[in-house]
Amino acid sequence: MKSRIKSAKEPDFVQVIGAREHNLKIDEMAVPKRKLVVFTGPSGSGKSSLAFDTLYAEGQRRYIETLSAYARQFLGQLERPKVEHLRGLSPTIAIEQKSASSNPRSTVGTITEVYDYLRVLYAKLGEQHCPKCGKKVAAQGAQAITREIVKLPDGTAVTLFAPLVTHRKGEFREIFDDLRTRGFVRVRIDGKITRLEDVTSLDKKKKHTVEVVIDRIVLKEEDRARVAEGVELGLREGKGELRVDTGKEEILYSEARSCCGIAFPELSPQSFSFNSPLGMCPSCNGLGIRDEVDPSLVIPDASLSIRGGAIAPWAPAMQRGEGWTSRIIDGVAKAFAVNLDMPWKKIPKAKQERILFGSQDRINVRWGKEGQNTWAMKYEGVIPNIERKFRETASEAARDTYRRYLRERPCESCGGKRLRAESLAVLVARKNVTEVTSMTIAEVAAHFEGIELPSSDRQISEGALLEIQSRLRFLLDVGLDYITLDRKGPTLSGGEAQRIRLASQLGSELSGVMYVLDEPSIGLHARDNTHLIATLQRLRDLGNSVIVVEHDAETILASDHVVDFGPGAGHMGGSITFNGTPEELLASDSLTGEYLSGKKSIDVPAERRKPRTWLEVKRARAHNLRGIDVKIPVGILTAVTGVSGAGKSSLVNGILLPALGRALHDSSDPVGEHDSIEGLSAFDKVIAIDQKPIGRTPRSNPGTYTKAFDMIREIFAELPEARTRGYNAGRFSFNVKGGRCEACGGDGTVKVEMHFLADVYVPCSACETKRYNPETLQVRFKGKSIHDVLESSIDECREHFQAFPALTRILDKLVEVGLGYMKLGQQATTLSGGEAQRVKLSRELGKVQTGRTLYVLDEPTTGLHFDDIKKLLAVLQRLVDAGNTVVVIEHNLDVIKCADWIIDLGPEGGARGGTLVAEGTPERVAGIAKSFTGQFLAPLLVTKITRKAAPSPANGAKRRVRSQNGAPAVE
């Protein structure tokens, strides 16, 4: 038995044999376990295919297979990856690049579950205060409640209710039977009074509120005894609570807590939930914001007259000079004595208010053929009219039209705090729950470290406090000290969301697990990389295997083992070009090794371009920006930098992009707070290029996205054989009936449901994965059918269709951005983020350049290898050379050092950020001591002169890594 136990020792490697997922061509390899392993290589070389689509997918599949058939039907099944054999695989957990949540109710506190424990803490220890007078709430007896009720005027009809069920799911059949037995006649269910004889049970899937009707009384002086009897019965049935409906309002009384005529319900965790009716602010339903019309958006240019278009919603009617709106405007002008040709800013304030917000006065509106008749009407006002139409319309297009005049404002009732006043009046350690959640992670951690509670309270709260403190500590470990707990989930970057999930895994303290992470360094400044690496090493030290898909030089050098994929991307990749330690990588001739050792490099431009003019944002105040003025140069490449949370996205994505979108493209996106933007006349369009997929379905591909496939179909339709058969371009589409294979609907595969096993996609037997019917495939251009073209690489297509300039121009742009290896018909869902972004870039490059376009890219180096970054920079420089302006939000030092201008925000993140730390050329920023970006940039710029005299690999490899990537820790 002992020898058998010894032989069952956990293997030290994961053996991978015959991996063929996507472009993988791995016959055999070993990945060490209980180590920090980095998978690196060019974008599309197969890193994620092995890490996520093979190792993680197979780990998940094997776990699900251990469950019963009954459980598997609810969990679903994963398809087996294309690998012959995997040995030594551990349970796997993936931490991917996904936004935390698109739900506006989601916050950092709810994602990390810190807020859940805060709600428990406040429900158990909270001291309730009166929101009106601020005094601590005291108990109220039956006699005191009776006195409050009889103070109401004689003749007031009141109904007494005893709460039995508050917002709970269930049928409650037993409650209704018991009430009937004891002689009660009526109940109120979800706000509607019903006779008990008509009620049997409720829908158990919905939440209900059930109250029994105690008595209905028309108050008279002699009815005091009846009121007192009803109050005592109601308090007894309602477990100390009684609700009184006076016809005008409902008042909740409680034996436990009341003040200023207000009774407070017993505290529960739901009392502090902005997702529950028990805790949410009734005015904004727990969102904390409301859409309101912003007068500055209705009057974008106060120097114009009303006839000249000062009032944006009226501008089209003023241009036409006729129509119902035009007649109303004429009536307003006569009724209010307003000159329609006077600049808006010169119209008296009182008259401006009447035009915008309406008046009780009636105006005369002309109607009829010649306008000879008049109709008196009440004037609603521009702003109330927009609010009403936005609220009432069922047309999404109309809502988009009205939305351009709206701006998110904090709810007036709760001040943006999301909770009702009674919940906000509950204090623990002299702070309410929203005061705690508005703090940064670092401040909350300090608050709970120093919290002083009586010994009895500490014993009650020990569990909740321990969970809160441990989660906060892990969030600090991954460098998220600047984020507040009330930060909305949709505003988190991919890197921030990933590090939040990483912190939750640290908190679980599992051992023997394989963690697979997708570029955890994205969104991190070079200064903060050390914290992240320490976190990954801590996961490893717990006895876990940590596999990181990463391109960051510092992370690669700090790992225990590196696997380099390549040598190229797509069908030219999928092989292992290096498998060993970081030290061995530096001496190797793999692509990554050559960049790390300095044999290959991304060179700094010989000279910086000069701005043509400036785009200036005045007093930017969105999120944590502190009313800063920022000048963005026109006609050059600008990098917006700073530590995480410094305010980069707030400035560029929150203010600049939507403001330009509104001015140039008539968009309705909300714009962050600022005073004005000067210099807009320098641009005729703005384009944001992100890394979102180019399509959500496998039918989308680079050919369809760039419109190259449309041209190819037109070429096939013009062939003599196609014209003889009467085929048009639609015949060669796999999305339209006629030319496609109807057995598979143009997919090329057929889904076979396997009940308790994963659905299997098998090749279509009718078309043999070719998507088209035989008649369509008989039409050929230079020997290739339409299917053959889709299966060809972009390089091959470019040569095949070289006689068609318009088509080759599109294909040339795809080659320029480094995607010549990719199949024209490669499914969009299989593209990496870097590939998707470069496809979008190629599409923009293919358009006619006006030289007056602003391109905005948010961290374009995400998912890109050093070699890919070199190609990306060449494309960006081409855009600038064509006269355009390029702005990138970036942490990658290779991009920053090649920029013409840097705008560095900070100095820290969150509340300690939002200021302009430095601006100017990279050389100037590198000389500013208070700039963290400058500190890491300086070594790279110093070495650009001495690069030719680089030391030998044996003596200076690590120093060259530092000069190339700006990582002081390496040296």
**Predicted local distance difference test score (pLDDT) of residue 952:** 32
**Predicted local distance difference test score (pLDDT) of residue 508:** 73
Q: How confident is the prediction for the chain on average, in pLDDT?
A: 85
Domain range 103-126+267-288+411-491, CATH class: mainly alpha
**Amino acid identity, residue 839?**
V
Residue 341 half-sphere exposure toward CB, CA atoms < 13 A: 0
**Amino acid identity, residue 678?**
E
Of 828, 821, 818, the residue nearest 793 (C-alpha)? 821
Residues 653, 637: Cα–Cα separation, whole Å: 17
Coil, helix or strand at residue 877:
helix
Full DSSP string of 691-703? -S-S-SSTT--HH
**Predicted local distance difference test score (pLDDT) of residue 308:** 87
**Residue 805: Cβ-neighbour burial (10 angstroms; 0-12, 13-18, 19+):** exposed
Residues 763, 750: Cα–Cα separation, whole Å: 6
pLDDT at 393 > cutoff 50: yes
pLDDT at 745 > cutoff 60: yes
**Predicted local distance difference test score (pLDDT) of residue 590:** 92
**Predicted local distance difference test score (pLDDT) of residue 736:** 87
Residues 307, 317: Cα–Cα separation, whole Å: 9
Average pLDDT over residues 52-65: 88
Contact 123, 271 (CB under 8 A): yes
Point out which residues pair with 959 in neighbouring strands: none
**Predicted local distance difference test score (pLDDT) of residue 98:** 59
Phi/psi for 372 (5° steps) reads -80, -15
Answer positive or negative: Cα dihedral of 644, 649, 654, 659: positive
Of 247, 243, 287, the residue nearest 413 (C-alpha)? 287
Domain range 2-99+509-597, CATH class: alpha beta
Q: Tell me: the pLDDT tens digits for 422-441?
A: 899 999 988 999 999 999 99
Max Cα–Cα distance, the chain, nearest Å: 108
Reported as a pLDDT band with limits 50, 70 and 90, residue 527 is: confident
Tokens standing for residue 288: 């904390």
Reported as a pLDDT band with limits 50, 70 and 90, residue 372 is: low
Fold of 698-828: ABC transporter ATPase like fold (1.20.1580)
Identify the architecture of domain 300-408 in CATH. Orthogonal Bundle (1.10)
Intra-chain end-to-end CA distance of the chain, in Å:
51
Contact 583, 635 (CB under 8 A): no
- Strands in 414-567 per DSSP E: 426-427, 514-518, 545-549, 561-566
Domain 138-260: CATH superfamily is Ribosomal protein L1/L10, rRNA-binding domain (3.30.190.20)
User: Do 2-99+509-597 and 613-692+865-938 come out as alike in CATH topology?
Assistant: yes
**Residue 710: Cβ-neighbour burial (10 angstroms; 0-12, 13-18, 19+):** middle
Measured in whole angstroms, the distance separating CA 826 from the mean position of its chain's CA atoms is 27
pLDDT at 382 > cutoff 80: yes
pLDDT at 659 > cutoff 80: yes
**Predicted local distance difference test score (pLDDT) of residue 500:** 84
Which of 45-49, 664-668, 913-917 has the largest mean confidence? 913-917
Average pLDDT over residues 633-650: 92
pLDDT at 668 > cutoff 70: no
Q: Tell me: the pLDDT tens digits for 68-113?
A: 777 776 666 667 899 999 999 998 988 876 555 667 888 999 988 8
Residues 327, 363: Cα–Cα separation, whole Å: 11
pLDDT at 1 > cutoff 80: no
Q: For residue 678, count other CB atoms closer than 10 A to its CB.
A: 12
**Predicted local distance difference test score (pLDDT) of residue 130:** 85
Under 8 Å CB-to-CB from 165, ≥6 apart: which residues?
172, 175, 208, 209, 210
**Predicted local distance difference test score (pLDDT) of residue 946:** 36
Point out which residues pair with 565 in neighbouring strands: 576
Point out which residues pair with 83 in neighbouring strands: 19
Average pLDDT over residues 791-796: 89
Contact 944, 923 (CB under 8 A): no
**Predicted local distance difference test score (pLDDT) of residue 959:** 32
> Which range among 339-353, 354-368, 583-597, 645-659 shows the weakest confidence by mean pLDDT?
354-368
Domain 613-692+865-938: CATH superfamily is P-loop containing nucleotide triphosphate hydrolases (3.40.50.300)
pLDDT at 444 > cutoff 70: yes
Q: Tell me: the pLDDT tens digits for 301-313?
A: 888 898 888 898 8
Phi/psi for 894 (5° steps) reads -65, -40
pLDDT at 953 > cutoff 70: no
> Which range among 522-526, 571-575, 864-868, 890-894 shows the weakest confidence by mean pLDDT?
522-526
- How is the chain split into domains, by residue range? 2-99+509-597, 103-126+267-288+411-491, 138-260, 300-408, 613-692+865-938, 698-828
Residues 681, 669: Cα–Cα separation, whole Å: 20
**Predicted local distance difference test score (pLDDT) of residue 526:** 86
